Amino acid sequence: MEKLVSLCKRKGFIFQSSSIYGGVNGCWDFGPLGVELKRNLKEHWWYRFVLSRDDMVGLDASILMHPRVWEASGHIEQFHDILVDCKECKKRFREDHLEQDSCPECGGELSEPRAFNSMLKTKMGVSEETGVETYLRPETCQSIFVDFKDVCTSTRVKIPFGIAQMGKSFRNEVNPRNFIFRSREFEQMEIEFFCREEEEELWFDRWKDDIWQWYLDIGIREEKLRWFEHPKETLAHYSKRTIDVEYEYPFGWGELQGLANRGAYDLTQHSQFSGKDLSYFDADLKERYFPSVIEPSAGADRTVLAVLCDAYAEETVKEEQRVIMRFHPQLAPIKAAILPLVKKDGLAEIAGDLEKKWRSFFTTYYDQAGAIGRRYRRMDEIGTPFCICVDYETKENDTVTVRERDSMEQVRMPVSEVPAYILKQCSIRPVCC
C-alpha cells in the first residue's frame, strides 16, 4: 500500500488535499493522471449502465437539497456512527471499527458510546442570521427519489426502469483512512431501479449479476472479489436485504458497492413529508402503487483504489526491475505514447506530427527524453498500454512499431492502421472502424 500511495503521488494520480498547508484529513485530489483514470472509470460505468441499456435514464441533481429531504430519508434520525473516546490519548473511534483498528494503542479506558451524526452541516443564504441550515448530501440517491415524478412525466419511462446518478457525497467520517477508501468527500455512482413488488427479487438477482460482471470487465481479478450478505439484525432502516461486493485491498476486505432492496420506503416517505403523491400509475395494470426499489450503490473512489491495487505489479525483466500498472486499456489514463527512436534525423518531427494528429482519437503522450528502454519503463509505470515508436524504417515505408505493455511484444504496422488498432482496444464504446 505504501508503494502504491507513493507512486500515486510521484506520478500524479492522487495528492493529499491542501498539502502545502499540512493537508486535510479525509480529502484527496486527483492529479493529471488520476483525473483521467477516474473519468474513464465513470464513463465506463455510465456507458454500461445507462447509455447501452434501454431501461435506464440519467440525472445530475444538486448537492444541496431542501433540509426536509434529510428528515424524510431518515438521515437526521438514523445516520449516526457510535463513537467512543479514549480517556488517555483522547483519540476518537467508531465503536463498530474498534476490532479492525486494534486500538487504542495506549491501552486507555474508553468512554461510554455516544451517537454522532455523520452529515456535514452548511448554511444557505446571505447572512448568518437568516441563512437556512442544511447538509451536504451524504448520498446521491435521495435526489433520484425526490425527482422521481419529474423524470416519469418528462420521459416515456415505464416500470421496470432505473435512474442513475453519479456525483459527490460528503460524510463526516470519524476516522478517514486507508488512502481514498474512506474519505470525507467522495464520489458515488448510484442506481435506483423501480419495479413491481412481485418482481423485486428477480431484479435484485439480475443486478447482482450485472454489477459483478462490470468489475470483471474493467479488469479486476475475480479472486479478489466476494459477496457479503448483511445479517437481518444489522440492516439499515430502509433495507429489506443488502449484499455488498467486497474487494481484497492490501489492508483487508472492504466494501466496494452495496446492493440493497429498499422496497417502497423512500417514495412513501417523501410523499408523506412533501405532501406530493409520488406513487406510479401503471397503465398496463391500470393501478397506482409505490414501486419497489433495487439500489446498486458504488463508490467511484473505492473502485479507483481497487483498480490501482489490482493493476500494480513488479516484474524482473532481463535482470531489470520494472513497475507496471496493468490497467485495462479502456481505463488507462494515456492510451498511447508516441516516441521517436532518436531525436535526430527528422524522427522527432515525424513523431510530433503523428502525436498531434492522433490526439483527437485517443489520449496520447509525446516523449523524446532518454533512451527508448527507459521511456518504455516510464510508460509501464503509469499503465500506458501502447508505445508507438517512430524509427528509421518509418521514413522509408511509413510504418511504426507498436509495443504492448504487458507482453512487451512489438508489431510493425502501417501508420494509417494505428488509430483503428488502438481505438479497438481502448475505446469504451464499440468502434465501427
CB of 213: closest distance to ligand ATP in angstroms? 17
Does residue number 171 form part of the binding site for ligand ATP (CB under 6 A)?
Answer: yes
5 by Cβ neighbours in 10 Å (0-12 / 13-18 / 19+) ranks as: middle
169 pairs with which residues across the strands?
186
Q: Which range in 156-164, 182-190, 333-341, 400-408 contacts ligand ATP by CB under 6 A?
A: 182-190
Cell 485491498 sits on residue: 249
DSSP 8-state secondary structure symbol assigned to residue 417: G
DSSP 8-state secondary structure symbol assigned to residue 58: E
CA 121 to chain centroid, in Å, comes to 24
Does residue number 261 form part of the binding site for ligand ATP (CB under 6 A)?
Answer: no
Cell 508507438 sits on residue: 388
Does residue number 182 form part of the binding site for ligand ATP (CB under 6 A)?
Answer: yes
Q: Which range in 40-48, 150-158, 179-187, 210-218 contacts ligand ATP by CB under 6 A?
A: 179-187
Does residue number 186 form part of the binding site for ligand ATP (CB under 6 A)?
Answer: yes
Site string for ligand ATP, 104-133 (x = CB under 6 A): ------------------------------
C-alpha cell at 261: 432492496
For residues 181 and 305, the answer to whether their CB atoms sit within 8 Å is yes
**H or E element in which residue 301 lies:** helix 300-311
Does residue number 328 form part of the binding site for ligand ATP (CB under 6 A)?
Answer: no
For ligand ATP, the closer of residues 224 and 377 by Cβ is 224
**Pairing state between β 80-85 and 114-117:** antiparallel
For ligand ATP, the closer of residues 186 and 203 by Cβ is 186
Q: What are phi and psi of 77, to 5 degrees?
A: -85, -35
For ligand ATP, the closer of residues 247 and 312 by Cβ is 247
CB of 53: closest distance to ligand ATP in angstroms? 21
Number of residue whose CB is nearest ligand ATP: 299
For residues 177 and 108, the answer to whether their CB atoms sit within 8 Å is no
Q: Which of residues 336-395 bind ligand ATP (CB under 6 A)?
A: none
Does residue number 183 form part of the binding site for ligand ATP (CB under 6 A)?
Answer: yes
Does residue number 188 form part of the binding site for ligand ATP (CB under 6 A)?
Answer: yes
Does residue number 225 form part of the binding site for ligand ATP (CB under 6 A)?
Answer: no
For residues 350 and 317, the answer to whether their CB atoms sit within 8 Å is no
Query: What is the total count of residues that contact ligand ATP (CB under 6 A)?
Result: 16
Does residue number 48 form part of the binding site for ligand ATP (CB under 6 A)?
Answer: no
CA distances to 24, 260, 418 from 148, in Å: 36, 18, 46
Does residue number 256 form part of the binding site for ligand ATP (CB under 6 A)?
Answer: yes
Q: Which range in 50-58, 151-159, 254-262, 367-375 contacts ligand ATP by CB under 6 A?
A: 254-262
The CA distance from 248 to 226, in Å, is 8
Query: What does the binding site for ligand ATP look like in residue numbers (CB under 6 A)?
Result: 139, 171, 173, 182-183, 186, 188, 255-258, 297-299, 301-302
